[in-house]
Amino acid sequence: MNPFRSILIIVMLLSVVFLAIAQHPVTSNTGRYTIVLHGGAGNISTAMPDSTRRSYTDALAHALKIGQSILDTSGTALDAVEQVIRYFETDPQFNAGIGAVYTADGTHELDASIMDGRDLSCGAVAGVRQIAHPISLSRMVMERTKHVLLTGEGAERFAQRMGVPLVPNTIFNTQKRAKEIEEYKQRLEKEKNGTVGCVALDRHGNLAAGTSTGGMPGKMPGRVGDSPIIGAGTYANNKTCAVSGTGWGEKFIKQGVAFTMSALMEFKGMTLAEAAEEIISKRLESNDGGFIAVDAKGNYATPFNAHGMFRGVATSDGVFEVTIWK
Ligand code: ASP
């Protein structure tokens, strides 16, 4: 072959590889993984019956194992996050998918988002009423559209185009939530919610985050919280960390909690632990909620300033824990 042509081919091949790396920067390929998840923070009474506590911790452990089995076999953080949250969306104990709380009108409006720390690609849906797995629809928004956030009917039309079946809104009418909304109406205070989230570092050094919720119980129809807002309830950047929040969404939006975590690390040089402490104790107020975070080295944090936060963590180094209170 003409030497000039071979050099040209080599240069072209190298630039393709370079472009691929530039688009998907890998920060640290340690071969280790960490997965952290939450099932909501709030006023979780320590007087909870043993059977209820066990039922929550069993569900958290089951979700962790789903994520672990993906990460163990070199699967991606993004797949682990999506599959863990899909599981939570089928468990009525949690305020996501089937267990979504009621709006003030007695309906259900679900929010979710997902983010890939490799290249900041992200997708979200808000106010969907007929979607069983908002987390997967969020991933479709990320991968199959030019947009980041689709709402309500538009999101559902997009779901149908993607072949996702619509479910009737009444499918979310569970006994547990119906009882809670009655209690809520009498007390009119913010309560524990059971939003779910997951963050992960995979063996390839990539971070991902996702969050899914029915929102705040008794919310005004049309209200959107922090969970589908990239930078408020969810954020992931390989350079810094992956974050998923739970609690009083309006506060998380005002403080841009998830992005601020990343910004404190990137621009102020804070460690994950320092950034988490700054946010939970200085930027959020008592009882606002909590969040989970993991950095590119696999360090993790699960700060909260409410009574409790359903949470769990597993690592390739053998950590496997599920907890509710401090
Ligand atoms: N942050 C969610 C929202 O405000 C609720 C929660 O996490 O419990 O919609």
SS3 98: helix
Q: Ligand 1: does its nearest atom lie under 6 Å from the Cβ of 138?
A: no
Query: How far is it, in rounded angstroms, from Cα 129 to Cα 111?
Result: 9
Q: pLDDT tens, 222-241? A: 999 999 999 999 999 999 99
Element (H, E) at 126: strand 121-128
Residue by residue, pLDDT tens for the chain (326 residues) are 566 566 555 555 555 444 444 444 444 566 999 999 999 999 999 999 999 999 999 999 999 999 999 999 999 999 999 999 999 999 999 999 999 999 999 999 999 999 999 999 999 999 999 999 999 999 999 999 999 999 999 999 999 999 999 999 999 998 877 777 777 666 644 455 699 999 999 999 999 999 999 999 999 999 999 999 999 999 999 999 999 999 999 999 999 999 999 999 999 999 999 999 999 999 999 999 999 999 999 999 999 999 999 999 999 999 999 999 99
Q: Which domains does the chain have, with CATH numbers?
A: 29-323 (3.60.20.30)
Report pLDDT for 17.
46
Q: Ligand 1: does its nearest atom lie under 6 Å from the Cβ of 227?
A: yes
* Residue whose CA is at the smallest distance from ligand 1 atom 9: 215
* Residue whose CA is at the smallest distance from ligand 1 atom 7: 246
Separation of CA 306 and ligand 1 centre (Å) = 13
Report pLDDT for 260.
98
Active site residue ranges:
195
* Residue whose CA is at the smallest distance from ligand 1 atom 4: 249
Separation of CA 89 and ligand 1 centre (Å) = 15
Alpha helices in 269-326 (DSSP H): 272-278
Strands 207-213 and 234-236, bridge-based pairing = unpaired
Q: Ligand 1: does its nearest atom lie under 6 Å from the Cβ of 83?
A: no
End-to-end CA distance of the chain: 69
C-beta of residue 242 within 8 angstroms of C-beta of residue 207: yes
Q: Which two tokens stand for residue 194?
A: 């059971």
Separation of CA 178 and ligand 1 centre (Å) = 18
pTM of the predicted protein model:
0.90
**Closest atom of ligand 1 to CA, residue 215:** 9
Q: Ligand 1: does its nearest atom lie under 6 Å from the Cβ of 67?
A: no
Alpha helices in the chain (DSSP H): 3-23, 50-72, 77-88, 134-144, 152-161, 175-187, 249-255, 257-268, 272-278
Q: Ligand 1: does its nearest atom lie under 6 Å from the Cβ of 213?
A: yes
Q: Ligand 1: does its nearest atom lie under 6 Å from the Cβ of 109?
A: no
Query: How far is it, in rounded angstroms, from Cα 120 to Cα 259?
Result: 12
